[in-house]
A and B are shown apart, each in its own frame.
Chain A
Amino acid sequence: MAIDDGRSFEHPLYHYWENSPGGGIGLTTLDRLLMHSARHSLWFFPMATSCCAIEFMTAAASRVDLDQAGTIIRPTPRHCDVMVVAGTITVKMAPRVKKLWDQMPEPKWAIAMGSCAICGDFYRDIYSVVPGVDVIIPVDVYIPGCPPNADQVMVALQRLQEKIKLQLEGKFVERDLRPGTMIYPKIGTHGDARQSAEVAQAQLDGARGLGVGGKEHRVPRPAAVQAPPEADATSDSGEQS
């Protein structure tokens, strides 16, 4: 696990302070400060390999602007706290990813962005593709999608900050599950943090193929808009894969 029991924050000065009178108060204040700054100055290391990297760049650029959350994108592993794996990891790349992960200083976290990094997407079965980056490194937050929308990176960042806060407060942090292995009721907890209970339930029902409200649900098409059968069927079949 990347999130450990907090021992990596320990500094030799701690012992000195702990034993001096009144030092405990200073220590808790320092802890709060550390906790605050660790959450709000996460530096991102873009392990950007393919398509998801473009969406990650969009997240860093004008519209979503990751900078507003205090992040800086640094292409040097030694400066960074969070590795964002955006894209397919191949067998040839895997040792490098491992090496870069090892070069990052503790404490460090990892975000797997896109289905390729989560489970390999439809390249999963191919001879040269690693089926999910958690084969190599421990992942804290998964962002599902192919590619995930750029603002989902922001949501993942919030989820990570929440996890860091809990962990530094010494609370139990439940491990995020790889979306592929998730059972249904967990979908809401993983996705958009601002999602309301109804939306989560609707999404859940939709995923189960029940339609909204648990019933067979279909919006009838008004007669005036009905297109000729050929074109109608064409536009009907546009499901995204």
Chain B
Amino acid sequence: MMGPVDPALREALAKQFPDVFAAEGDLDPNGVVVPAALHVALAKTLKESFGFTLYVSVIATNFPTAEGETYEVATVLRNPTTAQPFWWRVRLGADPQLATLYPLFAGADWQEREQFDLVGVNFVDHPDMRRLMLSEDWEGFPLRKSYAIDTPHTPWR
């Protein structure tokens, strides 16, 4: 139904982010890959100039590779007037750190805490980077591929 980026938006964005959007050919259908340094700037531009004011979600994923752990953080925004969603991805290395979107979107508060809790991506400058779902003393990050699904937690299981 919806491609990740519609052409008019891509053209407008190419002026500001030539590295990402002015490349040859089609953009990655899975979502544009953006350098971590541009993460906040892109979100700010989308929110303030293109009307993507609805904060939808943030998704962190763990990809273990032969060279070591890698992570991907995808962010989804939506334009409430056209109902068009927009998402992009940031690739991170073995020690995942990414700037927070909390100053731009209040909803990022809990969403980023949840991803920190389950995947272990650290969002820098977040005012309150605690676990959200699991108890404070939990060890490990359950949604990492190396975490066993049936990890015991004495005395309860």
Contact = CB atoms under 8 A, between A and B. Distances in A.
Contacts of A82: none
B153 A126 contact: no
Interface in B3-18: none
Interface in A125-144: 125-131, 135-136
A135 B157 contact: yes
A130 B156 CA distance: 6
| Main secondary structure on A side of the interface with B | loop
B134 A131 contact: no
B149 A126 contact: yes
Size category, A interface: 10 to 19
Contact of B149 (A91, A94, A127, A136): A127
Interface residues of B, number: 12
A92 B134 contact: yes
A99 to B, nearest CB: 13
A151 B123 CA distance: 49
B134 A130 contact: no
Contacts of A91: 135, 153, 156-157
Interface in B130-157: 133-135, 142, 147-151, 153, 156-157
Chain A CB within 10 A, most for which of B135, B142, B157: B157
Contacts of B153: 91, 127-128
Nearest to A120: B157
Contacts of A126: 149-150
Contact of B135 (A92, A131, A136): A92
A94 B147 contact: no
Contacts of B134: 92, 128
Interface of A: 91-92, 94, 125-131, 135-136
Interface of B: 133-135, 142, 147-151, 153, 156-157
Q: Which 10 A-B pairs have the closest CB atoms?
A: A127-B151, A125-B150, A94-B156, A91-B156, A91-B153, A130-B156, A92-B135, A130-B157, A127-B142, A131-B157
